[in-house]
Amino acid sequence: MAGGVRGRTLRQAGDAAVGRGVCGQGAVGHGTGRLVTRTRPAPAASKSRVAYEWIRERITSGAFGPGYRLVLTTLAGRLGMSVVPVREAISHLTAEGLVTFEPNVGASVSMADPDRYIHAVEVITVLESAATALSTPHLTRPDMAQARKLNAAMRTALGQFDFRRFTALNQEFHHTLYSRCPNPRLLELVDGEWSRLGHMRDSIFGLVPHRPKESVCEHDELLDLIEGDGTPDRIEQAVRLHRTRSLDAFRTHQPDGAHSPHHDGRAGQGA
């Protein structure tokens, strides 16, 4: 296997973890010279944060689909709070692009924007391919077995196709391969970009009928490369090519003018 997959064990979790103490606030007792330690309780999440996370989770999971109207009073009632924190949450989600606000109409879940999807996946392509290459030397046999299992589930799902389930399996497959990346900042960027994409993650497999089957076959090739003699550079290129093919298929199925004409097939431009 590439890197350390063959016979290599993971470091113990304790070796990788960084111990964090709880910061206390000290005070000297009057007249005794005795040190009194007072710990600060963790602050409770603000209501606007609670509302933000609740609404966002429903958007990204597909429970609130594109075009779903976000009525402040209804949401506030379901959350058991006033409309003020809900309005703040909607404002944050609008800034992220997950919600669209129209005067005299209100807020609704944003419709899929082809250009936004393309630009986001172009970024993900570069980040995820690098993370996968860095992760490869640290992958274990159980990791590879899990990736094979997920791809087998994707192949089975081709029969009675549910693009949302297929997308979720695909996401977990790729996450398995890049999750051992030793660069925490890179992992944060990859996961953050996928999270920002939200409900648009379903776009490619829902719109391009032939792509799911091709994707499963390309997964097999990628796994063979990792378990064989593939170098990190070759693995990075393979992941980029895989994402490029998916994004090219998405561009091809967009109406004229909706896709980016500047794409020239370079690895860094696709997804």
**Spatial separation of the C-alpha atoms in residues 245 and 192, rounded to whole Å:** 22
109 CB contacts (<8 Å, ≥6 apart)?
59, 64, 65, 66, 67, 68, 70, 98, 99, 100, 199
- Report the predicted TM-score, pTM, of the whole model to 2 decimal places: 0.61
The answer to whether 154 and 205 have CB atoms below 8 angstroms apart is: no
Residue 152's CB is within 10 A of a number of other CB atoms, namely: 14
pLDDT in tens, the chain (271 residues): 555 554 444 344 344 443 444 344 444 344 444 444 444 444 456 999 999 999 988 887 778 877 789 999 999 999 999 999 999 999 999 988 888 888 888 998 887 778 888 898 999 999 999 999 999 999 999 999 999 999 999 999 998 888 778 988 999 999 999 999 999 999 999 998 888 776 677 667 766 778 999 999 999 999 999 999 899 999 999 999 999 999 998 888 765 544 433 333 333 333 3
pLDDT at position 232 is 95
CATH 1.20.120.530 boundaries in the chain: 114-253
Taking the mean position of all CA atoms in its chain, how far away is CA 269? Answer: 19
Fold of 47-109: Arc Repressor Mutant, subunit A (1.10.10)
**Phi, psi dihedrals of residue 213, rounded to the nearest 5°:** -65, -45
pLDDT at position 6 is 43
DSSP 87-148: HHHHHHHHHHTSEEEETTTEEEEPPP-HHHHHHHHHHHHHHHHHHHHHHGGG--HHHHHHHH
| Range 114-253 classified under CATH 1.10.540.10 | no
Using one digit for the tens of pLDDT, what is the confidence trace for 178-218? 999 999 999 999 998 888 776 677 667 766 778 999 999 99
pLDDT at position 202 is 65
Token pair for 44: 């409770």
CATH 1.10.10.10 boundaries in the chain: 47-109
